[in-house]
Structure formats: structure tokens, C-alpha cells
């Protein structure tokens, strides 16, 4: 893998290794994939305004997110179905992320059970930080059963995906007729939750009836911190803060839900301003470079999360591939901080971004 110098370099070999149906599932976005592309291109349009001669030395990357220690402000976003990418699946991802000392947001639709993901992470780290992504359900019993499993596995926060009253429309999947996991694979966190459908993706009941009421119910079910993922509108961020939510993830689901939705980085500043420091704001969508991470931090993100690059790393090299992707991002982040005159993520502020029209 030494010839792979950037996280973008991982996509071509991953594509070559994957069944084209599964490559398209991971790579694709909703409809015309305008938001998918915008997540990356919006970062490229932002220019940094570095400081010089500040004598900060080699940057220290360690941080804390919601009280959880992380070796860098780069977390791993929830992405489903890792067994499509590599036979070691989420086990390999869990070990790589725990070894890197950062937070894994395990997907509800994982092909390895949350208990096994936690056990793998513990093989390589004393106290790995695992969060769990959850689709809210109308059926509180179903939600409660999944939450209890996550709690018993030692998960330290729930990340509720709130942007999915219905599944985004992926024409790549439609063209391949891909709407199910292949025989022999299942969503291990869903098994035994609804009679007759052991681990089937159909068990997830995405519904336009979901509302803040369901978030309140979840709040009453668990003492775990709850982050809300999929926030783009500042008013929703304010409502979340008033509802006692513990953190926000600015996200458009990797361009996989509403096409032509704004890029995550475009949404970030207004969300940060709306919550005015009442709760941490994270961002996912389009992070491919250390400079992207610094731009998100400069707009006020506490941390970012990466999705597809981790899947490409997993495909290409299993655990070692994920490790390498995280290493590349870590090195780029350290280098960018140094070139900006910052000694740590905490020293990054909007001052690094020139004033004027943003987008
Ligand atoms: C084939 C069914 O959040 C995604 C996931 C939802 C997965 C359901 C796919 O891929 O965006």
C-alpha cells in the first residue's frame, strides 16, 4: 500500500477489487449526485489564511469529544455493510480505529454485531471509544431493544440519524437491482428483533411520521449522550439544543439522501452560530484532506468524521488499509496545522478563514 499516498488514491484499487454493484452502493449518492460532489468541491473553494512565525512547535492532535478522548479530531462515520467490502468487515474497522485511538461510530446496519465490534476494539485498546448510530423507529420496543444491546456492549453515545424519513433514491442501486444484502450476510444488530426477518434491512422502518416526539422518547430511554446526525438547518440545531441533545453532526448523509442539499461545510457555520457553544458540533461529508479538517475546525466543528475513505481502506487492505487511511489524514492534519501556525486543533479559529462572501 506504500504507493497509496492520499486517501483519494484508495478509491481506484477499491473499485477494482469490489463487485461493481457493491462499489456503486458505497460510492453512489442520491439522484444526480450533486450533493455528493458538492461535499468535496465546497471544501476546495475555501481558502485558508495562515499565520506565520508563531513558534508553536509540532502540533499536538489529541482532543476530547463529548468527554471522550480522541487521538485526533477525526472520527470514523457510520457506514453500513462492511462485509461487502472485506471478509473481516467491521471487525477489521473496529481494530484499526481503536488502534488509532479515535472514535468509531458503529453503524446500526453493520454486518458484525455491536457486541463483536466492541470485543474486537478491546483486543487492541484498553478503553476504546465506541458510539452507535441509530435509525429512530416508530416502534419504541424495537428502538429500546437495539439501545439496550448497544449499552451492554459498552457504547458511550448514540448518534441518531435524523435525515431519513425515507431512504434516499440511489439510481445506481436501482440500475443494479441492489436492494438487499447477498445471501449469507445480514444486519447483525437487527437479528431477533422482529419475528420472521432475521437481520434483514427491511426491518428498519424509515418513516415520515418520525418527529421530535420520538427523539424525546429516546431521551427518556437512556442516559447515554445523544447526538443528532443529519442537521443542516440552524433552526433544527437550536431545537436540538433546547431538547437536551448532547451534540450535533452536520451531515447530508454523504450526499445519499436529499440531492441538491447544501454541502455539509456550507451548512456548518450557521449551525455553529445557532447553538452558540451550547453543544459540540461535528461534521461529516467530503473530508478527504487534512486541509478539509482544518477548514471544518475553523468554522467551529469540534471534530469531523470520515466515511467512504474508511470503506476504501478496508476494501484495499482490511485492518491495515483502514489504519493507513487514518494515518494519512492524521499526518496531513498535523502538517496543515503547522503550516497555519497552530499548535493544536484548539488553536484553530475562524481567523484562519478570510472574511467576505463564503461560497
Ligand atoms: C440497500 C439498502 O444509510 C446508506 C444507509 C442505508 C442503507 C440501506 C440500503 O447506505 O445510506
Q: How high is the pLDDT of residue 126?
A: 97
| Catalytic residue check, 253 | yes
Could you report the predicted ipTM of this complex, rounded to two decimals?
0.93
10/20 Cα distance (integer angstroms): 16
As a whole number, mean pLDDT of residues 101-108 equals 98
Residues 6+ apart with CB under 8 A from 195: none
pLDDT at residue 228 is higher than 70: yes
Grade residue 176 by pLDDT with cuts at 50, 70 and 90: very high
**In the chain, % of residues over pLDDT 70:** 98
What's the CA-to-centroid distance between 149 and ligand 1, angstroms?
Answer: 21
Range 186-192 contact pairs with CB under 8 angstroms and sequence separation of 24 or more: 186/111, 187/80, 187/108, 187/109, 187/110, 187/111, 188/110, 188/111, 188/112, 188/113, 188/114, 188/116, 189/108, 189/109, 189/110, 189/113, 189/114, 189/146, 189/149, 190/108, 190/109, 190/146, 191/113
Q: DSSP E strands: which ranges in 128-253?
A: 130-135, 157-161, 226-231, 247-250
Q: What are the pLDDT digits (tens) for 214-227?
A: 999 999 999 999 99
**Domains along the chain?**
7-346 (3.20.20.70)
Report the pocket of ligand 1 as residue ranges, CB < 6 Å.
Answer: 80, 109, 167, 179, 201, 253, 256
pLDDT at residue 355 is higher than 90: no
Handedness of CA 198, 129, 77, 245 (dihedral sign): positive
209/336 Cα distance (integer angstroms): 44
Q: Which of 139, 147, 117, 131 is CA-nearest to residue 67? A: 131
What's the CA-to-centroid distance between 131 and ligand 1, angstroms?
Answer: 19
Name the residue at shortest CA distance from atom 7 of ligand 1: 80
What's the length of the chain?
A: 359
What Rg value do the Cα atoms of the chain yield, rounded?
19
Candidates 23, 35, 80: which one to mutate for ligand 1, based on the most atoms within 8 Å of Cβ? Answer: 80
Q: How high is the pLDDT of residue 169?
A: 96
Residue with grid cell 433552526, as numbered in its chain: 235
* Beta-strand relationship, 281-284 and 130-135: unpaired
Amino acid at each position: 500500500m506504500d504507493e497509496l499516498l492520499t486517501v483519494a488514491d484508495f478509491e481506484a484499487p477499491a473499485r477494482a477489487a469490489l463487485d461493481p454493484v457493491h462499489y456503486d452502493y458505497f460510492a453512489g449518492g442520491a439522484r444526480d449526485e450533486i450533493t455528493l460532489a458538492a461535499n468535496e468541491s465546497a471544501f476546495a473553494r475555501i481558502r485558508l489564511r495562515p499565520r506565520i512565525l508563531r513558534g508553536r512547535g509540532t502540533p499536538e492532535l489529541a482532543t476530547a469529544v463529548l468527554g471522550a478522548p480522541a487521538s485526533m479530531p477525526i472520527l470514523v462515520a457510520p457506514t453500513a455493510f462492511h462485509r461487502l467490502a472485506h471478509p473481516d468487515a467491521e471487525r477489521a474497522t473496529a481494530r484499526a480505529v481503536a488502534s488509532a485511538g479515535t472514535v468509531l461510530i458503529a453503524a446500526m446496519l453493520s454486518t458484525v454485531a455491536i457486541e463483536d465490534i466492541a470485543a474486537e476494539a478491546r483486543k487492541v485498546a484498553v478503553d476504546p471509544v465506541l458510539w452507535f448510530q441509530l435509525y429512530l423507529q416508530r416502534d419504541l420496543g424495537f428502538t429500546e431493544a437495539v439501545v439496550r444491546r448497544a449499552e451492554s456492549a459498552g457504547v458511550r453515545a448514540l448518534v441518531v440519524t435524523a435525515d431519513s424519513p425515507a431512504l434516499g433514491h440511489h439510481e445506481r442501486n436501482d440500475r443494479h437491482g441492489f436492494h438487499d444484502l447477498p445471501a449469507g450476510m445480514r444486519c447483525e444488530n437487527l437479528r431477533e428483533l422482529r419475528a420472521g426477518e432475521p437481520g434483514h434491512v427491511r426491518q428498519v422502518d424509515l418513516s415520515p411520521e418520525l418527529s421530535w416526539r420520538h427523539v424525546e422518547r429516546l431521551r427518556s430511554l437512556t442516559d447515554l449522550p445523544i447526538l443528532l446526525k443529519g442537521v443542516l438547518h440552524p433552526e433544527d440545531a437550536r431545537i436540538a439544543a433546547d431538547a437536551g441533545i448532547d451534540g450535533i453532526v452536520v451531515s447530508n448523509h454523504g450526499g445519499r439522501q436529499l440531492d441538491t442539499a447544501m454541502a455539509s461545510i456550507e451548512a456548518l457555520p450557521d449551525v455553529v452560530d445557532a447553538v452558540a457553544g451550547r453543544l459540540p458540533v461535528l461534521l461529516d461529508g467530503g473530508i478527504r484532506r487534512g486541509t478539509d479538517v482544518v477548514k471544518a475546525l475553523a468554522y467551529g466543528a469540534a471534530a469531523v468524521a470520515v466515511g467512504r475513505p474508511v470503506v476504501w481502506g478496508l476494501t484495499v487492505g482490511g485492518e491495515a488499509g483502514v489504519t493507513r487511511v487514518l494515518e494519512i489524514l492524521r499526518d496531513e492534519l498535523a502538517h496543515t496545522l503547522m503550516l497555519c501556525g497552530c499548535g493544536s486543533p484548539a488553536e484553530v479559529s475562524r481567523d484562519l478563514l478570510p472574511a467576505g462572501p463564503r461560497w
